[in-house]
Structure formats: C-alpha cells, structure tokens
Amino acid sequence: MPACWKSGHCLATAAAILAGAALVSAAAFDAAFARIAAGAAIFLFGMRFMEDGFAALTGGTLEHLLKRFTTGTLRSLLFGIVTTTLTQSSGLVSVVTISFLSAGLIDLAAGVGIVFGANIGTTTGAWLIAAFGLKVDIAAWAMPMLALGVILVMHPARGARGLGNILAGFGFLFLGISFMKDGFEAFHQAVDLSAVTAHGLSADLLFALLGVVATVVMQSSHATLLLLLAALASGQIGFEGALAVAVGANIGSTATAVIGSLGANIDGKRLAFAHLLFNTVTGGAVLAMLGPAERVVEALSAFIGIVDPTLKLALFHTLFNGLGVALLAPASSRIAALLIRLLPTPQAPGLTPRFLTPAAEAFPEALNQALRLELIRLYDNAVEIMAHGLHLHRRILFGAEPLESVVERNRDVVAIDLDSQYVERVESLSAAIVGAISRADAKPAEQAEILRTFQDACLDIVTAVKETKHLRPNLTLYVHHANADIRIPYNAMRLAVGNGLRAIDQLRKEPAEHRDTLELEALRVRFEQDDREMSGKIEAMIRDGRITPRMGMSLMNDLRYTRSIVRALAGIGRALFGEADATHGAAERVLGLSDDDISRLARGPS
Amino acid sequence: MKTQKIIDLLDEFLGGERIKRTRREQAVLDLLDKLERKERKLLEKLAEPHDADEIRQLNLKLQVNRAHQEKARQALESWAKTGEAEKSDDGVAI
C-alpha cells in the first residue's frame, strides 16, 4: 500500500478531487454527475473511517475473531458467507478484506477464501428480493449507523472509538453507494432489459454484458438483480436471458473491489484480481453452458417444488456461485500462489549507497569512514522499521516518557509492510556495504579487524530487522490480549527492544569522549535475567491452563527472537557509535563480553 | 595525524608490532581508568534513594562494569606475560 494511502492522504486527495468535481459539475454540468462524484467522495471517506476503525480494534476481539475464523479455507469461506449475508454487499466485504490484508491481519489465501465466500453470501440477496420483493434500503441504514458511529467516535474508550469509526465508515459507504445509485438513475432507461428480446449465444453474451454494465454503473449487483427480477416477474425478459444478466451482474460486482484495490498494496490488488478471476471464470463457464444450466435449474426447481421464475433465478444464482466455490475453493492456496506469480511484489529501487564511491573505496581511512556513515544510514532506516514493527513511533520511543508507560499506552497497530520496507530500505544498502567490504584490502590485520566489525554490524542490523519481522505477528495479536499472562510478556519484549533502541539513541547524543558503549551489554544481561524468569514460568502457566500450549510455544520462540535483537543492538551500538579510533575500538572489542559472560552475569553470584 | 601515520608506517616497516601493542595496552589502560571512574559514579548513585527497578538497573550496570574491568585486567596481564617472553628472546624491554 503506498505510504500516502496508509496515511490517508490518497483517500483525502481523491475525496477532495471528487468533491471538487461534484461542485464543478453541480454548477456547470448535471446534478446527476454531481451526486455520482459526491457519492464517490463519501465512499472514499467511509473507507478511511473503516480503516481507522479496524486499525483501532486490531489486537482485540476483532483479531481474535479473524484469527479464529480465517484459519483454513472452510473458515475463511464461512467468514465471507456470513459477513456478506449480513452486509448484503460482496463489494464491501471485498474492500474490508483488502483492508485486513493490507494491515497484515490475514494472509492472501484466507483473503481469497473470504472473497469466494462473499460470492455465495451475495446470492442470499437474490433470495430475499425474490422471496419478499424487498431489498434493504442501505441509505436508510446509513443514517442511524452514522449517528451511532459519531457518538461512539467521541467515546474515551479505544474499543468504542474503533467501533464508532467502523459504524461511521459503513454509514458513509452506504450513503456513498446510495448517492451514486441515485446519480445513475439517469442511466436506468439505457439498461431497460425489457427492450432486449434476442436469443442464442450472442444474445446471452449481450445480456451478460448488460448485467456487467448495469452493475458497474450502479455499483451494486443487487440493484441489477432487482431490475432483473422485476423484468422477469413481468415477463419482459426470457428466463435464459435473465440467467445471463445474473451472470453479468456477478462479473460486474468485481468493479467495486477493483476500484477499492487501486490504492491498496500489492496483496489488495491480488485479492481484487482473485475476485475478478473467480467471477469471470465461473461466469464464462456458466455462459458457455447456459442451456444445460437452465435445464438443471428447471429440474431441481421441479424437484424442490419451485414454480416462481424469480425464485428459480435465485436458485440459479446460488447454484452457479456455489459450483464455482466448490471447484475453486480447494485450490485457494494454489490460487494465492498463482496470484503472487502473476502479480509479483514490485522490486523497489531500494536505498543506494551515498558515501561508498569508487574514490572512497580506494583508501582505507576513507573507506572506513564511508562504511561507518552508510551503516549509520542503514541503522536509521532499520530503527524506523523496527519501531513501527513494534507498533511504536520514534517520536514517542525516543521521548522523555518512561518506556514502561510508552509500551503500555501505545498499543495501536502501526500499519507497515515489513517485507517491502526491508526490500526498499535495508536489503540493497546492506548488500552494497557487504560488497564494498569484500572488495576492500584487508591488510594490515588491524584493518581486517575493522572491516570484520563493520560486517558484523551490518549483519546485526539485518538480523534485528528480520527478527522484528518474525516477532510482529504474535506481538500484534497479543499486546491487546485480554489474558494478562500472555499480554504482559509480549509488552515486556517490546520494552526490551525499545530499551535497546533508546539506549543507542541516548548514546549517540552524548559527546564521543563520554560515550560508554560497553554499558549496552547491561541490556543483554537484563534481558537474559528476564528471559530466565519467564522461561521458568511458561511451563507452569501452560500446566495451570493460564495460557494455551500454542501461546507457550509462541512465547518461547518470540523470546528467542527478542534475545537475538537485543544482542544485535548491543553489537550495533558498539560498532557504530563507539570509539572511531582503530586502536581504541580494538581495545573496546577486547573488553566485550561473550555469550557465556552474559549468562554468568545473568545467573548472578553463585 | 600525518606524523602519527608516519610513525605507524615506520613501526610496521621496522617490524615494530610492540609499539602498536603498547598503544593498544595504553588504550585498554585508558578504558580501565574510564571504567573505574564510572564504577565510582555508579556506587555514588546507588547510595542515593531509588525505586527497586532503578536499583536493579544500577546494580546491573555495576556488574557489567566490573566484568569489563576484569576483562581489561586479564588482557593486560596476558600481554604482560607475552612481553616477558619477547624480552627474553630479543632482550628488548617493552
């Protein structure tokens, strides 16, 4: 997801452009276009609210539900079916799923499962319309949602605020869609299905195209189905033609997801493509066999006892979506892999060296200075990634507030794509540094030692970022967990890494002659002590049922990652901000503590 | 800086590893001096009233500081022994 989209600037810009378009068109062109533009702006505004709301709720119940209901294809499918049935909008569910994906709450295979489920969930709309002749007026839902949402947004509790944002977001989305539909009323005559009376394959394709166009224009397959069912009930369209229009409506419903994915990250685009793929593949297959499909529906209807053609159409709608899901859902992991191949993560140019030039590489002293400066650049980039990975902002992390209260008070998810950040800001620069070190003349021995120290520091930075990446999923899940036995250790891990980052920050602010990089090793001893204490408790907590064995496993693994990060930070601090003079630097290394020394100190006097 | 570089180059050219080691010994002695000053500061701080966590932090720093001092002394001792060996070889005191 582009940075501007994450921060909401893209949404705000798009909404502002659309609002401007609404003003201009209202003044100069047509009121219908003004409503369409205003509707799109409101829609985007609603998306912003929803993203904020979901971000505020992450770590709590929502994550728990998502984690629970999106593990495995069947659960993801059910999640898609239930949410789409409740919201009556597969487009909306797709947009929300893209938002989940972008926040890293679910993986692509789960997202594909949800989208497939949404295709079944959306068929409940046809049954509702056909059976009751009713459709939920989403604009009528929008107002109470907005009212309740705005009240909750002002609530002091974070969870209530998150819920308020989601409600207001849904309200704005519904209102936006309603505005757009109203605006497109002018096109209703253009898609008057009763005017088309052709037959055969070409007619089926034409009807399907009409379904696509009508749904894209009205941003709702339900609206198309409503028109279609009315036409079918009044005999203005043949049954086979109606089936083709329903297929087209399904394909057209992907437009919302495609539009929603334009500003999303690569996973969002992949998901929108999965949605498009599912609907076009199943739609194409059904269109090719529309005659036999019609006979199957007729036979099944006769068997069940359905006579009403509108209910038969609803049955067809459910059958063909269900068939598509039955065929494609088992392969959702493979589809996700295919999507990753078809839409690869764009290779960002990445950070390039600024100081490591051929001229600098020609002289050992210049090379050493260039390496140090490049490593500090690399570290600064790594710090931002790590801080965000721990859901902390550097301004707060490096502020005056005690770190214990910083980690306790700041637990909102900081959305960051760690993989792409690593590729963009760490991988290429670290490779350039290692390349320069390998090309350098490692003589005399003192220079070889300096180069080795820099190489170790580079690897330490890479390790710290990678381990943060490993730590983040469980950290995100547990820092808000209701169970204090799992929440507290995860916040302690944030504290341990935060302490290391803050200690290095304070160290670099001191004059060089007052710096004591050796003191950073106290952080390692402290973590080692805490780790020993926690490791001793984990088994007992599992035994007493205070945490699940899975939580215990996660905790043990993540303590290892944290130890590795703290160790790396102590090395980085000494290599980059310690003695620049070669002899003094070497003396500092002589005094450095080994892993055994750290363990001995952590155990205390025997 | 240039003078130092010339001395280093001469030292290297004339096989004067001893000079370098002496400089390294001096660097370790400087560090040891710094660590001892730090230890005194930590002890002074520990004498002041603190909460439990602060006392733990200061104690940890003190432990680590002393471990570094121990390492420094061990290194100096070991180099001193090596120096004795060299003295017996070439008769030059370090």
For residue A192, the model assigns a pLDDT of 54
Are A311 and A196 in a shared domain?
A: yes
CA distance A415 to chain B (A): 32
Give the three-class secondary structure for A277. helix
Is residue B93 assigned to a domain? Answer: no
Is residue A237 assigned to a domain? Answer: yes
Is residue B91 assigned to a domain? Answer: no
pLDDT tens profile A420-447: 889 889 999 999 999 999 998 877 777 8
For residue A338, the model assigns a pLDDT of 86
**pLDDT over 80 (residue A471):** yes
Are A431 and A334 in a shared domain?
A: no
Are A278 and A427 in a shared domain?
A: no
* Residue keyed to tokens 């910083």: A406
Are A132 and A245 in a shared domain?
A: yes
A259 versus A339: which is more confidently predicted?
A339
Compute the distance between CA of residue A43 and CA of residue A34 in angstroms, rounded to an integer: 14
**pLDDT over 50 (residue A225):** yes
**pLDDT over 50 (residue A9):** no
**Minimal Cα distance from A365: which residue of B?**
B5
Partner-chain residue, chosen from A444, A518, A583, that has the shortest CB–CB distance to B68? A518
CA distance A519 to chain B (A): 7
Is residue A102 assigned to a domain? Answer: yes
Percent of residues, chain A, with pLDDT higher than 70: 78
Are A334 and A384 in a shared domain?
A: no
**pLDDT over 50 (residue A315):** yes
Is residue A411 assigned to a domain? Answer: yes
Are A421 and A322 in a shared domain?
A: no
ipTM of the prediction greater than 0.90, yes or no: no
* Residue keyed to tokens 């899901």: A325
Compute the distance between CA of residue A39 and CA of residue A178 in angstroms, rounded to an integer: 7
Query: What is the count of structural domains for chain B?
Result: 1
Please, which residues have CB within 8 angstroms of residue A455's CB and are 6 or more apart in sequence?
A434, A437
For residue A234, the model assigns a pLDDT of 67
Token pair belonging to A129: 């319309």
B24 touches chain A (CB under 8 A): yes
Alpha-helical segments (H) within A343-417: 358-361, 364-389, 394-397, 403-409
Q: For residue A227, which of A119, A135, A293 has the smallest C-alpha distance?
A: A135
Compute the distance between CA of residue A561 and CA of residue A567 in angstroms, rounded to an integer: 10
Query: Are A522 and B67 a contacting pair at CB < 8 A?
Result: no
Contact in structure between A396 and A348 (CB atoms under 8 Å) = no
- Burial (CB < 10 A; 0-12, 13-18, 19+), residue A116, is buried
B65 touches chain A (CB under 8 A): yes
Positive or negative, the CA dihedral A594, A467, A561, A509 is positive
Q: What is the DSSP string of B27-81?
A: HHHHHHHHHHHHHHHHHHHHHS---HHHHHHHHHHHHHHHHHHHHHHHHHHHHHH
Please, which residues have CB within 8 angstroms of residue A109's CB and are 6 or more apart in sequence?
A73, A76, A332, A333, A335, A336
CA distance B70 to chain A (A): 9
Is residue A139 assigned to a domain? Answer: yes
Q: For residue A39, which of A172, A150, A171, A186 has the smallest C-alpha distance?
A: A172
A8 versus B58: which is more confidently predicted?
B58
* Residue keyed to tokens 């497939």: A116
Is residue A350 assigned to a domain? Answer: no
Which structural domain range is residue A588 located in? 358-603
pLDDT tens profile B52-66: 888 998 999 999 999
Contact in structure between A576 and A379 (CB atoms under 8 Å) = yes
Give residue A359's region: left, alpha or beta (phi > 0; psi -120 to 50).
Answer: alpha
Please, which residues have CB within 8 angstroms of residue A419's CB and are 6 or more apart in sequence?
A345, A469
B28 touches chain A (CB under 8 A): yes
Of the segments A132-141, A222-231, A369-378, which one has the largest average pLDDT value? A369-378
Query: For residue A424, what is the DSSP state?
Result: I
The continuous run of DSSP H or E covering A147 comes out as: helix A138-153
Compute the distance between CA of residue A482 and CA of residue A486 in angstroms, rounded to an integer: 9
**pLDDT over 90 (residue A107):** no
A88 versus A18: which is more confidently predicted?
A88
Point out the least confidently predicted range of A85-99, A154-168, A203-217, A570-584: A85-99
Q: For residue A480, which of A48, A157, A156 has the smallest C-alpha distance?
A: A157
pLDDT tens profile B6-41: 656 655 555 555 555 677 788 889 889 999 999 999
Of the segments A59-73, A135-149, A280-294, which one has the largest average pLDDT value? A280-294
Are A382 and A514 in a shared domain?
A: yes
Report helix, strand and coil shares of chain A as percent, to nearest 5: 80, 0, 20
Query: Are B61 and A587 a contacting pair at CB < 8 A?
Result: no
CA distance A604 to chain B (A): 9
Are A331 and A363 in a shared domain?
A: no
Opening angle at CA A209, ends A208 and A212, nearest 5: 90
Give the three-class secondary structure for A579. coil
Query: Are B31 and A593 a contacting pair at CB < 8 A?
Result: no
- Region A5-23: mean pLDDT is 48
Query: What is the count of structural domains for chain A?
Result: 2
Interface test with chain A among B68, B76, B77, by most A beta carbons within 10 Å:
B68
Contact in structure between A451 and A437 (CB atoms under 8 Å) = yes
Is residue A117 assigned to a domain? Answer: yes
Interface test with chain A among B9, B61, B79, by most A beta carbons within 10 Å:
B61
* Residue keyed to tokens 């992390």: A397
Token pair belonging to A223: 């609206």
Contact in structure between A94 and A275 (CB atoms under 8 Å) = yes
* Residue keyed to tokens 């109203």: A182
B63 touches chain A (CB under 8 A): yes
CA A190 to chain centre: 39
Query: Are B60 and A591 a contacting pair at CB < 8 A?
Result: no
Q: What is the DSSP string of A95-125?
A: HHHHHHHHTTSS-HHHHHHHHHHHHHHTHHH
- Which pLDDT band, with edges at 50, 70 and 90, does A91 fall under? low
Please, which residues have CB within 8 angstroms of residue A273's CB and are 6 or more apart in sequence?
A261, A339, A342, A343
Q: For residue A541, which of A495, A488, A479, A602 has the smallest C-alpha distance?
A: A488
Measured from the Cβ of residue A42, the count of other Cβ atoms closer than 10 Å reads 25
Compute the distance between CA of residue A565 and CA of residue A382 in angstroms, rounded to an integer: 12
Measured from the Cβ of residue A82, the count of other Cβ atoms closer than 10 Å reads 15
- Dihedral, CA atoms, A209, A213, A215, A217, nearest 10 degrees? 180
Are A294 and A396 in a shared domain?
A: no
Is residue A349 assigned to a domain? Answer: no
CB contacts, 8 Å: B54 with chain A: none
CA distance B19 to chain A (A): 12
**Average pLDDT score, chain A:** 80
Percent of residues, chain A, with pLDDT higher than 90: 18
Are A471 and A435 in a shared domain?
A: yes
A507 versus A101: which is more confidently predicted?
A507
**pLDDT over 50 (residue A1):** no
Give the end of a domain, one of A309, A342, A375. A342
Query: Are B35 and A518 a contacting pair at CB < 8 A?
Result: yes
Which structural domain range is residue B29 located in? 2-86
Contact in structure between A262 and A44 (CB atoms under 8 Å) = no
Token pair belonging to A192: 């008057």
Q: For residue A500, which of A595, A396, A383 has the smallest C-alpha distance?
A: A383
**Minimal Cα distance from A529: which residue of B?**
B60
For residue A55, the model assigns a pLDDT of 61
Query: Are A587 and B27 a contacting pair at CB < 8 A?
Result: yes
Is residue B94 assigned to a domain? Answer: no
Contact in structure between A80 and A118 (CB atoms under 8 Å) = yes
Q: For residue A379, which of A262, A501, A264 has the smallest C-alpha distance?
A: A501
For residue A459, the model assigns a pLDDT of 96
Compute the distance between CA of residue A283 and CA of residue A249 in angstroms, rounded to an integer: 10
Compute the distance between CA of residue A596 and CA of residue B3 in angstroms, rounded to an integer: 41
Is residue B33 assigned to a domain? Answer: yes
What phi and psi, each to the nearest 5 degrees, are found at residue A428? -70, -40
CB contacts, 8 Å: A590 with chain B: 24, 28, 71-72, 75
**pLDDT over 70 (residue A522):** yes
- Region A322-333: mean pLDDT is 83
Compute the distance between CA of residue A6 and CA of residue A305 in angstroms, rounded to an integer: 52
Query: For residue A370, what is the DSSP state?
Result: H
Is residue A558 assigned to a domain? Answer: yes
Query: Are B64 and A593 a contacting pair at CB < 8 A?
Result: yes
B18 touches chain A (CB under 8 A): no
